[in-house]
């Protein structure tokens, strides 16, 4: 018996993950100064290698969900949280720059994998003084990681309150 050859085009399959014409309001991930992702002091993020998005120079350590969705992954070092919207948009919340080496100490997570979250719901608390003491930047970064399928528009920059709508993501 002969088994037919089946070739799966991963790129084509990936394009199906975000619902056509999907839209999501995006809120500020923290209280503080909102900026385009291109201004982040990290070439991986500022070069949009992880995807388009934005960042916040936080005024305090409260970090909220930028979108409504499901918590898909919590990094063991607690410095990053992966979310996915109902439409399939993948969102990375990265807390601080080069903070993986801190082994999770400055981060207290308020969610677990599988949780459903609303935009503006608290995800984590970050000890900003501990980041400063360790010589780490406290910039909070939000990136839409399925960049080939999602476009992000930042509508508001400057001082913003966590949970305030600052942009739109479209599939």
The catalytic site residues sit at: 94
Q: Pick from 65, 88, 69, 79: which is nearest to 130 by CA?
A: 79
- How do strand 151-154 and strand 52-58 relate by DSSP bridges? unpaired
How many Å apart are CA 56 and CA 78, to the nearest integer?
18
Bridge partner residues of 152 (DSSP): 169
Burial of 104 (0-12, 13-18, 19+ CB in 10 A): middle
3-state SS assignment for residue 118: coil
């Amino acid at each position: 018996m002969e088994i037919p050859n089946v070739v799966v085009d991963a790129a084509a399959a990936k394009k199906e993950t975000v619902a056509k014409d999907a839209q999501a309001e995006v809120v500020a991930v923290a209280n503080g100064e909102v900026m385009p992702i291109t201004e982040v002091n990290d070439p991986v993020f500022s070069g949009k290698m992880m995807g388009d998005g934005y960042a916040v120079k936080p005024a305090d350590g409260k970090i909220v969900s930028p979108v409504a969705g499901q918590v898909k992954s919590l990094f063991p070092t607690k410095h990053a949280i992966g979310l996915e919207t109902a439409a399939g948009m993948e969102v990375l919340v990265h807390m601080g720059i080069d903070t993986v080496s801190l082994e999770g100490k400055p981060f207290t997570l308020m969610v677990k994998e599988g949780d459903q979250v609303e935009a503006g719901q608290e995800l984590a608390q970050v000890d900003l003084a501990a980041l400063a003491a360790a010589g780490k930047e406290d910039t909070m970064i939000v990136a839409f990681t399925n960049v080939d399928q999602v476009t992000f528009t930042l509508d508001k920059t400057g001082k913003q309150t966590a949970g305030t709508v600052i942009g739109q993501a479209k599939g």
